[in-house]
Protein backbone atom coordinates (compact mmCIF):
# COMPACT_ATOMS: atom_id res chain seq x y z
CA UNK A 1 0.00 0.00 0.00
CA UNK A 2 2.79 2.41 0.86
CA UNK A 3 4.50 1.69 -2.44
CA UNK A 4 1.36 2.51 -4.41
CA UNK A 5 0.86 5.73 -2.43
CA UNK A 6 4.52 6.70 -3.03
CA UNK A 7 4.18 6.03 -6.76
CA UNK A 8 1.04 8.17 -6.93
CA UNK A 9 2.83 11.04 -5.17
CA UNK A 10 5.86 10.73 -7.48
CA UNK A 11 3.72 10.63 -10.62
CA UNK A 12 1.74 13.66 -9.41
CA UNK A 13 4.91 15.65 -8.74
CA UNK A 14 6.38 14.77 -12.15
CA UNK A 15 3.11 15.85 -13.77
CA UNK A 16 3.39 19.24 -12.09
CA UNK A 17 7.06 19.68 -12.90
CA UNK A 18 7.02 17.71 -16.15
CA UNK A 19 5.63 20.57 -18.21
CA UNK A 20 9.03 22.10 -18.83
CA UNK A 21 9.10 21.73 -22.60
CA UNK A 22 5.56 22.88 -23.16
CA UNK A 23 5.88 26.00 -21.03
CA UNK A 24 9.26 26.90 -22.55
CA UNK A 25 7.83 26.57 -26.06
CA UNK A 26 4.73 28.54 -25.05
CA UNK A 27 6.78 31.48 -23.77
CA UNK A 28 9.12 31.25 -26.80
CA UNK A 29 11.70 33.69 -25.49
CA UNK A 30 12.56 36.14 -22.75
CA UNK A 31 10.03 38.67 -21.45
CA UNK A 32 8.49 40.29 -24.56
CA UNK A 33 11.35 39.26 -26.90
CA UNK A 34 10.15 36.25 -28.86
CA UNK A 35 12.31 33.87 -30.86
CA UNK A 36 11.92 33.80 -34.67
CA UNK A 37 10.35 37.26 -34.74
CA UNK A 38 11.69 40.38 -36.46
CA UNK A 39 14.39 41.98 -34.30
CA UNK A 40 13.54 45.40 -35.74
CA UNK A 41 10.12 45.28 -34.07
CA UNK A 42 11.68 45.72 -30.60
CA UNK A 43 12.45 49.38 -29.87
CA UNK A 44 14.35 48.39 -26.71
CA UNK A 45 17.10 46.74 -28.77
CA UNK A 46 19.83 48.51 -30.70
CA UNK A 47 22.11 47.18 -33.41
CA UNK A 48 25.60 46.32 -32.18
CA UNK A 49 27.48 44.53 -34.98
CA UNK A 50 27.44 41.92 -37.73
CA UNK A 51 29.12 38.61 -37.09
CA UNK A 52 32.09 38.45 -39.45
CA UNK A 53 32.31 34.69 -39.57
CA UNK A 54 28.58 34.19 -40.22
CA UNK A 55 26.91 36.02 -43.12
CA UNK A 56 23.45 37.51 -42.49
CA UNK A 57 23.95 37.28 -38.71
CA UNK A 58 23.80 40.35 -36.48
CA UNK A 59 24.01 41.16 -32.78
CA UNK A 60 21.73 43.54 -30.90
CA UNK A 61 21.94 44.74 -27.30
CA UNK A 62 19.44 46.24 -24.87
CA UNK A 63 19.28 50.02 -24.74
CA UNK A 64 19.98 51.79 -21.44
CA UNK A 65 17.01 51.74 -19.09
CA UNK A 66 15.32 48.79 -20.81
CA UNK A 67 15.53 45.13 -19.74
CA UNK A 68 17.40 46.00 -16.54
CA UNK A 69 15.87 43.42 -14.21
CA UNK A 70 13.84 40.27 -13.80
CA UNK A 71 11.73 41.26 -10.83
CA UNK A 72 14.33 42.11 -8.18
CA UNK A 73 17.19 40.35 -10.01
CA UNK A 74 19.54 42.68 -11.85
CA UNK A 75 20.32 42.08 -15.52
CA UNK A 76 23.93 42.97 -16.39
CA UNK A 77 23.74 42.32 -20.12
CA UNK A 78 21.13 41.32 -22.68
CA UNK A 79 22.30 40.26 -26.14
CA UNK A 80 20.09 39.20 -29.04
CA UNK A 81 21.39 37.32 -32.09
CA UNK A 82 19.56 37.41 -35.40
CA UNK A 83 19.74 35.70 -38.76
CA UNK A 84 18.22 37.76 -41.57
CA UNK A 85 16.50 39.86 -38.90
CA UNK A 86 14.91 36.83 -37.22
CA UNK A 87 15.84 36.39 -33.56
CA UNK A 88 17.30 32.95 -32.93
CA UNK A 89 19.23 33.42 -29.69
CA UNK A 90 18.81 35.56 -26.56
CA UNK A 91 21.60 35.81 -23.99
CA UNK A 92 20.84 37.24 -20.54
CA UNK A 93 23.56 37.72 -17.92
CA UNK A 94 22.08 38.25 -14.45
CA UNK A 95 23.21 38.25 -10.89
CA UNK A 96 23.29 34.82 -9.31
CA UNK A 97 20.12 34.43 -7.30
CA UNK A 98 18.55 31.36 -5.72
CA UNK A 99 15.02 32.78 -6.17
CA UNK A 100 15.61 33.15 -9.91
CA UNK A 101 16.74 29.53 -10.21
CA UNK A 102 13.77 28.28 -8.18
CA UNK A 103 11.42 30.38 -10.34
CA UNK A 104 12.89 28.85 -13.49
CA UNK A 105 12.44 25.36 -12.06
CA UNK A 106 8.88 26.18 -11.07
CA UNK A 107 8.12 27.45 -14.58
CA UNK A 108 10.01 24.89 -16.67
CA UNK A 109 10.42 21.88 -14.40
CA UNK A 110 13.51 20.20 -13.04
CA UNK A 111 16.70 21.22 -14.79
CA UNK A 112 18.50 18.71 -17.02
CA UNK A 113 22.26 18.31 -16.99
CA UNK A 114 24.61 16.97 -19.60
CA UNK A 115 27.67 15.30 -18.17
CA UNK A 116 29.45 15.34 -21.53
CA UNK A 117 29.09 19.08 -22.13
CA UNK A 118 28.77 20.14 -18.47
CA UNK A 119 25.69 22.23 -19.26
CA UNK A 120 22.45 22.60 -17.40
CA UNK A 121 19.37 23.26 -19.48
CA UNK A 122 15.63 23.06 -20.02
CA UNK A 123 14.42 21.89 -23.40
CA UNK A 124 11.18 21.99 -25.35
CA UNK A 125 10.37 21.00 -28.91
CA UNK A 126 11.17 24.48 -30.26
CA UNK A 127 13.22 26.23 -27.55
CA UNK A 128 16.20 25.34 -25.38
CA UNK A 129 17.21 27.38 -22.32
CA UNK A 130 20.79 26.95 -21.14
CA UNK A 131 21.76 27.85 -17.58
CA UNK A 132 25.48 28.54 -17.17
CA UNK A 133 27.40 29.93 -14.20
CA UNK A 134 29.58 32.79 -15.42
CA UNK A 135 31.40 33.34 -12.13
CA UNK A 136 30.63 33.44 -8.41
CA UNK A 137 28.19 36.33 -8.82
CA UNK A 138 26.72 35.95 -12.34
CA UNK A 139 24.78 33.45 -14.39
CA UNK A 140 23.96 33.38 -18.08
CA UNK A 141 20.61 32.29 -19.45
CA UNK A 142 20.63 31.52 -23.18
CA UNK A 143 17.39 30.99 -25.06
CA UNK A 144 17.95 29.28 -28.42
CA UNK A 145 15.49 28.45 -31.19
CA UNK A 146 15.89 24.87 -32.35
CA UNK A 147 14.26 25.70 -35.67
CA UNK A 148 16.94 28.13 -36.85
CA UNK A 149 19.17 25.33 -38.12
CA UNK A 150 16.38 24.20 -40.44
CA UNK A 151 15.84 27.76 -41.68
CA UNK A 152 19.55 28.26 -42.40
CA UNK A 153 19.75 24.87 -44.14
CA UNK A 154 16.75 25.76 -46.33
CA UNK A 155 18.34 29.11 -47.25
CA UNK A 156 21.60 27.37 -48.18
CA UNK A 157 19.71 24.84 -50.29
CA UNK A 158 17.87 27.67 -52.06
CA UNK A 159 21.19 29.40 -52.74
CA UNK A 160 22.68 26.21 -54.19
CA UNK A 161 19.57 25.57 -56.28
CA UNK A 162 19.64 29.15 -57.54
CA UNK A 163 23.30 28.84 -58.50
CA UNK A 164 22.64 25.48 -60.17
CA UNK A 165 20.10 27.08 -62.51
CA UNK A 166 22.77 29.49 -63.75
CA UNK A 167 24.62 26.74 -65.63
Tens of pLDDT, residues 114-134: 888 788 999 999 999 999 999
What residues contact 36, with CB distance under 8 A and at least 6 apart?
28, 86, 87, 88, 145, 147, 148, 151
Given pLDDT bands bounded at 50, 70 and 90, which one contains residue 156? confident
Within-domain flag for 3 = no
State pLDDT tens for residues 11-70.
444 444 445 689 999 999 999 999 999 999 999 999 999 888 888 899 999 999 999 999
Q: Is residue 62 part of a domain?
A: yes
Q: How many domains does the chain have?
A: 1
| pLDDT, tens digit, 9 for 90 and up, residues 61-86 | 999 999 999 999 999 999 999 999 99
Q: Is residue 110 part of a domain?
A: yes
- Whole-structure pTM value: 0.82
Residue 7 lies inside a defined structural domain of this protein: no
Q: Which domain holds residue 137?
A: 19-164
In angstroms, the CA 58 to CA 47 distance is 8
Residue 8 inside a domain? The answer is no
Nearest to residue 122, comparing CAs of 17, 14, 20?
A: 20
On whether residue 160 sits in a domain, the answer given is: yes
Is residue 109, in this structure, part of any structural domain at all? yes
Amino acid sequence: MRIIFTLIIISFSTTIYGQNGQELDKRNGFKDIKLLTDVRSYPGLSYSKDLKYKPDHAVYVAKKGIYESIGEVKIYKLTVYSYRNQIYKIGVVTEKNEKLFRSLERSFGKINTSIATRHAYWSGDKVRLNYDVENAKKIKLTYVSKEIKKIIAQDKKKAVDSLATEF
